[in-house]
Structure 1
């Protein structure tokens, strides 16, 4: 009776990633985890379909400790990896900037579901004779193309900035401040501290800008397969942007004329949010134990679920 009363509420909460509501309802009525919508999807399946990461993290241990939940399928014989292979709703994709990072998040969800399955489960076909891999490729073919274009456009704009930086610092290197001795070629200010700072900063800027340029060019010549968007391409872009930022910073230190650095500095500042998003998306996993889960009741009162006999939530 309680399960029926909370059915619509817990399903709506799962779709909206309202983990506090799901936590409260599961504590009151553990059997509501089996409630289904009109398409036959329960709370776990809805969390995967709608990419509700906080709800998924909340019920992750339930899935891991129950083979029934790990291997369950919907009315179209889609297992959890199939469901993770479906394209996320548009309102979910819009949370992430850039098609490449959106695709990365989709790949992370697929990878997480694959960890729950045996190799045989990963090759099972649904009602339409599609394996999870085939379904993912079909659903994400447009996003893959958009991600490739986004990566190329970003790499091209950054490579132009890197090339401009190389040009500026190289010109500064061959045009030594204060000139050189006409006979020996030794810089006149070689014993000055300011000149030493200039020389070191300029050299560092040149090398880092050249490294960044090579990294951006490697992105432009990449094959852009599905798996490349998970780690390889984001890492190259992260290191390329990081090298570009270092190069610009040291260039500003090296050059006395700050106005000459202003255009490049503006471009780098614009790209800083992108670097932050890349690092967060690539190196800070969305799955696993999270601090907000410590306050959830189903982590503190697991005896409720053992008594209900719905699942064993062993500690």
Structure 2
């Protein structure tokens, strides 16, 4: 009875992510690594089910982890099957956006797959499903939400990028100050402000062109599960970064052109620069999502593989 109470307490702590309690209990009694709950799950099955990465990281420090990884629950599910499940107890609501949620789920599946015996990929549970089949089945709705969000977002981004391309292309041939009638060269060609205008206009044009191409690549993607791991987030990062860059450089080009035209009216410099900063402030609002996506894709990750072997 006492052992059942201890087991229930540990599994309850795992579901709540109480890493300190779980780690201290396991350190005090290493036999607890091999306990199971009523469903036949080990503590690592349960940590994977509840996506508790700190508790799951303890497995990297175990010399006997291969024995634990071979365990199957009462329904014939391996730990890789558990990684492929998406249920109400899987806490992913704290992650912003369905795309990042799908990416995190694939990261979990890939990490568990990496440390599992190769045969685990082919093992079937009592429903006749492999771990990959179970992942595809339970994550179908999340994948469709991610696909819908990305297509809607990239469509809006493509429209904005196309407008910037049109504006910057036209601005390059309707330059401030006009051209010499004899040579056709810009009158202000040797002016420093004019050179700045040409540079930022070109940067805006080419960066917006890159953004549109990235968004087109996202829109025409096959949206397989693996695409959400690296391919789609990378294209989204490049697309949004270059779109933000094109908007910022477009405002700089606009301000520079006005300064060239109205350079005799020095009092107007400050309001021009102030107004140009307003759109840039609004551009920074969705920048948090871009940062989260970059960290999730290229960051150090949530899995600590360098834990020292101790049991």
Aligned-CA RMSD value? 2.3
Flag the 1:185–1:2 CA change in 2: closer, same or farther, 3 A: farther
Name structure 2 gaps, 5 residues minimum: 256-271
Q: Distance in 1 between matches of 2:116 and 2:7?
A: 28
After superposition, the C-alpha distances for 1:65-111 in whole angstroms (9 at most, x for unaligned) are: 43211111101110011000100536612111111111111111111
Higher alpha-carbon deviation: 106-115 or 167-176? 167-176
Kindly state the Cα deviation for residue 225 of structure 1 after the two structures are TM-superposed: 1.1
Q: Distance in 2 between matches of 1:286 and 1:13?
A: 19
Match of 2:258 in 1: none
Q: Distance in 1 between matches of 2:117 and 2:199?
A: 55
**Which secondary structure does the structure 1 equivalent of 2:285 belong to?**
helix
Asked if residue 32 in structure 1 is aligned to residue 47 in structure 2, the reply is no
Q: Is the 8 A contact 2:252 2:276 kept in 1?
A: no
Q: Distance in 2 between matches of 1:134 and 1:289?
A: 27
Kindly state the Cα deviation for residue 245 of structure 1 after the two structures are TM-superposed: 2.1
Match of 2:268 in 1: none
Match of 2:146 in 1: 147
Kindly state the Cα deviation for residue 32 of structure 1 after the two structures are TM-superposed: 2.1
* Correspondence 1:268-307 to 2 at 5 A: 268-284=283-299, 285-289=301-305, 302=310
Q: Distance in 2 between matches of 1:244 and 1:260?
A: 20
Kindly state the Cα deviation for residue 61 of structure 1 after the two structures are TM-superposed: 2.5
Residues paired across the two proteins, number: 294
Q: Is the 8 A contact 1:7 1:35 kept in 2?
A: yes
Q: Distance in 2 between matches of 1:183 and 1:31?
A: 91
Match of 1:59 in 2: 59
Q: Is the 8 A contact 2:203 2:249 kept in 1?
A: yes
Match of 1:306 in 2: none
Kindly state the Cα deviation for residue 153 of structure 1 after the two structures are TM-superposed: 1.2
After superposition, the C-alpha distances for 1:174-226 in whole angstroms (9 at most, x for unaligned) are: 22011111221111111111111111111011101100111011111111111
Name structure 1 gaps, 5 residues minimum: 294-298, 303-312
* TM-score with structure 2 setting the length: 0.87
Match of 1:296 in 2: none
Asked if residue 200 in structure 1 is aligned to residue 199 in structure 2, the reply is yes
Kindly state the Cα deviation for residue 263 of structure 1 after the two structures are TM-superposed: 7.7
Flag the 1:34–1:119 CA change in 2: closer, same or farther, 3 A: closer
Match of 2:82 in 1: 83
After superposition, the C-alpha distances for 1:248-298 in whole angstroms (9 at most, x for unaligned) are: 2222322215588678535532321111111111112221258xx8xxxxx
Q: Distance in 2 between matches of 1:218 and 1:258?
A: 35
Q: Distance in 2 between matches of 1:263 and 1:151?
A: 27
After superposition, the C-alpha distances for 1:17-72 in whole angstroms (9 at most, x for unaligned) are: 2211111111222222233333222211110001111111133332x643211111
Higher alpha-carbon deviation: 206-215 or 245-254? 245-254
Match of 2:163 in 1: 164
* Correspondence 1:215-234 to 2 at 5 A: 215-234=214-233
Higher alpha-carbon deviation: 254-263 or 64-73? 254-263
Q: Is the 8 A contact 1:125 1:131 kept in 2?
A: yes
Q: Distance in 2 between matches of 1:149 and 1:258?
A: 38
